[in-house]
């Protein structure tokens, strides 16, 4: 096991990793920008190093500064968390060159699964269901038109290097496809430094179902079942739950097994999530693979009892996964509400500022992953998520009742948060029935 780990992140995930380190008997070194200098979790680390001013490019995604901090603190490994440098194969390679273990996949496995076109190719070989669409990147307009007429409109143009819901264009006919192709490629080049685009079938009504996987360096990979993350706004997830409600078990199991197969084929080690869209007939189509620990990992931890963050550290140190697939069983139901410092009444405008009231919920089955305490000031520079409320219960019905109860106890002010929106959803008949699609929340908010 490692002696000392540097955490190249901030906020709740930095705290989550500190907690895992502490339980593993590993020292945790935090880095922070000046905007986070008073963050309370820094006191829980064994050491905290300032790496620069608030803008992420001058601190949290500044590779030379992160590496310098790692060398000063003499760490064996770096945990990137999510966001920031977590999906940068070049960063993983630099860590390797500096003889620091990157807690995540090898740069090769990351490149293979992180690029969407490359990932689809690997997925196809591993017999993972993918969207009907172009084989690889689109080389010319005529080819795109031919593929689109074969698979039928609407189609979606995506950037191979895309992310964060950007650079996607839905086309309902040949004329829009032709115009959008050129624009999409130029935009992709400008935004991601890679103009490669591809097309796939666009699903009008779909659910977002993703499979949590774990791989080790000994060629072993397992899945920890699925999460449903269909409650989204602008492609941003707001509620996640596990297991996915109203999904045929056979189809679910086949998809989970396919996801684990993909991870194994890519010789992947660490935590990965294989994302799928599921249509109304419950056919699954792979969207992409996230080559890192995800925000919503706790719901899977609650139903399986597996500590995903600890596992990511364990396998990076070279240990084999201590689980076989048959050891993984689902217990009850878990749900996570993302608590964002945003005003749902004002088009989700971010609300940075000082939190003078912070009364967290508690009681049976309630877990709160947050770095916030009374008196904490939310800096305006980063993501607006200030915490995740996760509850676990015997079944979905009791889980929603418990969530409603916990949300009622949760008092944050004076800044606005997404708590009232979550309360509304816990009482919404469609949401309670389960199986809402990815556009449900946006329709509700109109």
Q: Least distance (Å) from ligand ADP to the CB of residue 423?
A: 24
- When asked if residue 83 is in the footprint of ligand ADP (CB under 6 A), the reply is no
Residue 385: enclosing H or E segment and its boundaries? strand 385-393
Write the CB contacts of 11 (distance below 8 Å, at least 6 apart in sequence): 36, 39, 371, 382, 383, 385, 386
Q: Is 391 within 8 Å of 337 (Cβ atoms)? A: no
Q: Which stretch binds ligand ADP (CB under 6 A): 95-103, 117-125, 174-182, 197-205?
A: 197-205
- C-alpha span between 95 and 194 (Å, rounded): 24
Q: Which stretch binds ligand ADP (CB under 6 A): 9-17, 202-210, 265-273, 343-351?
A: 202-210
Find the distance separating the first CA and the last CA of the chain, reported in whole Å.
51
Write the CB contacts of 15 (distance below 8 Å, at least 6 apart in sequence): 41, 44, 369, 370, 371
- When asked if residue 165 is in the footprint of ligand ADP (CB under 6 A), the reply is yes
The binder of ligand ADP chosen from 76, 288, 296, 342 (CB under 6 A): 288
Nearest to 87 by CA among 64, 67, 116, 58: 116
- C-alpha span between 392 and 40 (Å, rounded): 27
- When asked if residue 199 is in the footprint of ligand ADP (CB under 6 A), the reply is no
Q: Which stretch binds ligand ADP (CB under 6 A): 194-202, 296-304, 333-341, 371-379?
A: 194-202
Q: DSSP string covering 153-205, please?
A: S-EEEEETT--TT-S-EEESSHHHHHHHHHHHHHHHHHHHS---EEEEEPPSS
Q: Least distance (Å) from ligand ADP to the CB of residue 83?
A: 12
Is 275 strand, coil or helix? strand
- Contact pattern from residue 120 through residue 149 relative to ligand ADP, giving x for each residue in contact according to CB under 6 A and a dash for the rest: -----------x------------------
- C-alpha span between 242 and 335 (Å, rounded): 7
Residue 393: enclosing H or E segment and its boundaries? strand 385-393
Site for ligand ADP in 215-254 (CB under 6 A): 235
Active site residues: 292
- When asked if residue 272 is in the footprint of ligand ADP (CB under 6 A), the reply is no
Between 33 and 230, CB nearer to ligand ADP = 230
- When asked if residue 206 is in the footprint of ligand ADP (CB under 6 A), the reply is yes
The binder of ligand ADP chosen from 203, 239, 425, 441 (CB under 6 A): 203
- When asked if residue 152 is in the footprint of ligand ADP (CB under 6 A), the reply is no
The binder of ligand ADP chosen from 2, 202, 276, 284 (CB under 6 A): 202
Contact positions vs ligand ADP (CB under 6 A): 131, 156, 162-166, 168, 200-203, 206, 208, 235, 275, 277, 287-288, 438
């Amino acid at each position: 096991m490692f002696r000392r780990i540097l955490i190249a992140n901030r906020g709740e995930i930095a705290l989550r990793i500190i907690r895992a380190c502490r339980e593993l008997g590993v020292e945790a070194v935090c880095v922070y920008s000046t905007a986070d200098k008073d963050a309370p979790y820094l006191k829980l680390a064994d050491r905290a190093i300032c790496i620069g001013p608030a803008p992420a490019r001058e601190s949290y995604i500044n590779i030379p500064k992160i590496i310098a901090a790692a060398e000063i603190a003499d760490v064996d490994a770096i945990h990137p968390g999510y966001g920031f440098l977590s999906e940068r194969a070049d960063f993983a390679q630099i860590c390797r060159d500096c003889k620091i273990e990157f807690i995540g996949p090898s740069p090769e496995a990351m490149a293979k699964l992180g690029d969407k076109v490359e990932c689809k190719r690997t997925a196809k070989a591993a017999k993972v269901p993918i969207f009907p669409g172009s084989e690889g990147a689109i080389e010319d307009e005529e080819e795109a038109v031919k593929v689109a007429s074969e698979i039928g409109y609407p189609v979606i143009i995506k950037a191979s290097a895309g992310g964060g819901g950007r650079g996607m264009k839905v086309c309902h006919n040949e004329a829009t496809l032709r115009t959008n192709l050129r624009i999409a490629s130029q935009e992709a080049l400008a935004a991601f430094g890679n103009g490669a685009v591809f097309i796939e079938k666009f699903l009008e009504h779909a659910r977002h179902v993703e499979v949590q996987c774990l791989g080790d360096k000994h060629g072993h990979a397992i899945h920890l079942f699925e999460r449903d993350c269909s409650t989204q706004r602008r492609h941003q997830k707001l509620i996640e739950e596990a297991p996915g409600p109203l999904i045929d078990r056979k189809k679910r199991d086949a998809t989970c097994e396919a996801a684990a197969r993909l991870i194994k084929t890519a010789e992947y080690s660490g935590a990965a999530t294989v994302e799928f869209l599921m249509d109304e007939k419950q056919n699954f189509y792979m969207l992409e693979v996230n080559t890192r620990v995800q925000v919503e990992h706790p719901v899977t931890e609650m139903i399986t009892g597996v500590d995903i963050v600890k596992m990511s550290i364990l396998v990076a140190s070279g240990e084999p996964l201590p689980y076989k697939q048959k050891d993984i069983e689902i217990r009850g139901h878990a749900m996570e509400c993302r608590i964002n410092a945003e005003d749902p009444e004002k088009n989700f405008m971010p609300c940075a500022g000082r939190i003078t009231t912070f009364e967290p919920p508690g009681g049976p089955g309630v877990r709160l992953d947050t770095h916030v305490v009374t008196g904490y000031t939310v800096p305006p520079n980063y993501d607006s998520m200030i915490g995740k409320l996760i509850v676990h219960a015997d079944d979905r019905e009791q889980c929603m009742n418990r969530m409603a109860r916990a949300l009622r106890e949760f008092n944050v002010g004076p800044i606005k948060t997404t708590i009232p929106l979550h309360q509304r959803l816990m009482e919404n008949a469609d949401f309670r029935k389960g199986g809402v699609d990815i556009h449900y929340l946006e329709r509700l908010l109109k």
